[in-house]
Amino acid sequence: MIRSVTDSKWAASNVIMPKPRKKYFPILLLMVVALSGLALPAEAQAGPNAAQQQLARNYMAAVRAKDRTRLQALLHPKVATCQSASTREYFDHLANQSLENVPQGNYKVTVTPLPPGGPPAMLPATMFQYSVQPTQQLQIDGDITAANSVSVIRFIAEQGGRWYIVYPCPNPEGVKYFHENLAKQRQQQQRAQALAAKVKGPLRAQLKNLLKQGRKIDAVHKYQAASGANLTTAVQVVDVLDSTHD
């Protein structure tokens, strides 16, 4: 089992997993994958060229410095043109996710060609369209703790010898769709906070102990077994517990 940074369909795709790293995505991440990339078989991956490696270095420098201006500069010029007052929260949200759970220390960069038809269409095509078609998937793998690694996945496209990050641009209906789903996400987070507050006694102590050991996956499974919650809810509740200092 793996999870996204926020288990949100709108998160930029930073996928956290226990070592060793595995290459698969659960249903939970389908919308995440649609926005930021799909892990393809390892045999299809290759080392990046110099320009792609430079994009990866620039991206890592920006997220480690939490520099939104530098992140913005990495977006393809045609993506930047679809940013407006109405789409600002959508792009701000993607930037926020990029700044969470950043790989520490050394990292590995791989690039995978996308199929001729482009990325998989998992968002409504009538609401979200690429202003420029991405041609490659950039993947950055690194560790965030001794127990957990993260895969940062972005779609990219070239212009003028430089490579840029590409996101789909929402039209007015897409903006509405985004806000509706963001509201649902916030409701889920509020519910998770309420459920986490009800975790008491030995179970809470056991879960917190697992989290201190970096065994978040085991904590999710333990909470599921004790509460009967589904996977999405269990991940959200354990995330709340992980961020709570008892």
Section 164-179 average pLDDT: 95
Helices 216-227 and 231-243: crossing angle in degrees, nearest 10, is 120
Section 207-230 average pLDDT: 93
Rounded CA-CA distance 180/194 in Å is 21
Cβ(195)–Cβ(233) below 8 Å? yes
The 10s digit of each residue's pLDDT in 76-115 is 999 989 999 999 999 999 999 899 889 989 999 999 999 9
User: Strands 14-18 and 148-159, how do they pair?
Assistant: antiparallel
Residue 246: strand, helix, or coil:
coil
Q: How many residues does the chain have?
A: 246
The 10s digit of each residue's pLDDT in 3-17 is 333 333 443 555 545
Residues ≥6 apart with Cβ < 8 Å to 80: 72
Rounded CA-CA distance 235/192 in Å is 9
Could you say which DSSP state residue 138 is in? E
Burial of residue 193 (CB within 10 Å: 0-12, 13-18, 19+) is: middle
| Confidence bin at 243 (pLDDT 50/70/90) | confident
Rounded CA-CA distance 10/179 in Å is 10
Residue 66 has pLDDT above 90, yes or no: yes
User: What's the predicted TM-score (pTM) here?
Assistant: 0.75
Determine which helix (DSSP H) or strand (DSSP E) holds 33, and give its type and residue range.
Answer: helix 30-36
Rounded to whole angstroms, what are the CA distances from 139 to 41, 117, 165? Answer: 12, 20, 12
Other Cβ atoms less than 10 A from the Cβ of 236: the count is 24
What is residue 32's predicted lDDT score, i.e. its pLDDT? 40
Cβ(169)–Cβ(87) below 8 Å? yes
